[in-house]
Amino acid sequence: MTDSRASNPVSGLDGWCDDKGHIYPLKVYYEDTDAGGVVYHANYLAFAERARSAWFSLIGIDQNQYLQSGLAFVVAALEVRYHRPARLGQELRVVTQLANMTGVRAMLDQKITDTHGHLMASLNVQVAQASLGGRPCRFDADVKSKILATMPPQNHEITFSGKVALSHKKGH
């Protein structure tokens, strides 16, 4: 996997992909904090959502196009763990990695760190595609292939229904 910043200089707004996954940088602003200058707990979810949307944009998944056709990407399940507080003015990174994928769900690991690599929060997120009425549906082939193409090397044996879906290992 290559660093997408080199091939697309405008992509800085959406972060970049490298061997760690998708990296989304952000800065903590006053609106993100409580009265003590600490990031309000729910804003970590907003940071992670923004990073997921930026990742989709960066890899060519146009969420507006899907909305216009009656489909949305939704969070089906989420687990968050807070490790240390982020503070006003701090620069953070949201690192998103694909942990597993089925025909209907993408399981993502998201880590929010400071620029020194200190872990602030970790999230396990299950993303699904659904109709605007809320009915789940299978990911279309284009979405699956774009998501799978970004996964880090340690996850190259992700399967669909017991079959290897994509592999970067020799002989596959």
Q: Is pLDDT at 69 greater than 50 in this prediction?
A: yes
Helices marked H in the chain — which ranges?
41-58, 63-68, 141-148
109 counts as catalytic: no
Q: Is pLDDT at 24 greater than 70 in this prediction?
A: yes
Distances (CA, A) of 116 to 42, 50, 73, 81, 162: 23, 21, 32, 19, 39
Distances (CA, A) of 53 to 36, 57, 95: 29, 6, 13
Quick one: pLDDT at residue 171? 41
Residue 134 region by backbone torsions, left for phi larger than 0, else alpha for psi between -120 and 50, else beta: left
Q: What value does the mean pLDDT of the chain take? A: 86
Residue spans of the domains in the chain: they are: 9-156
Taking only the tens place, the pLDDT of each residue in 44-66 is: 999 999 999 999 999 999 999 99
Q: What angle do CA 9, 11, 17 make, to 5 degrees?
A: 110
Name the active-site residue from 34, 62, 140, 142: 34
Quick one: pLDDT at residue 118? 98
Taking only the tens place, the pLDDT of each residue in 124-159 is: 999 999 999 999 999 989 999 999 887 755 554 554
DSSP structure class, residue 122: E
Scored b (16 or more CB within 10 A) or e, 91-110 reads: ebbbbbbbbebbeebbbbbb
Which token pair is 52?
């997921």
Protein fold of 9-156:
Thiol Ester Dehydrase; Chain A (3.10.129)
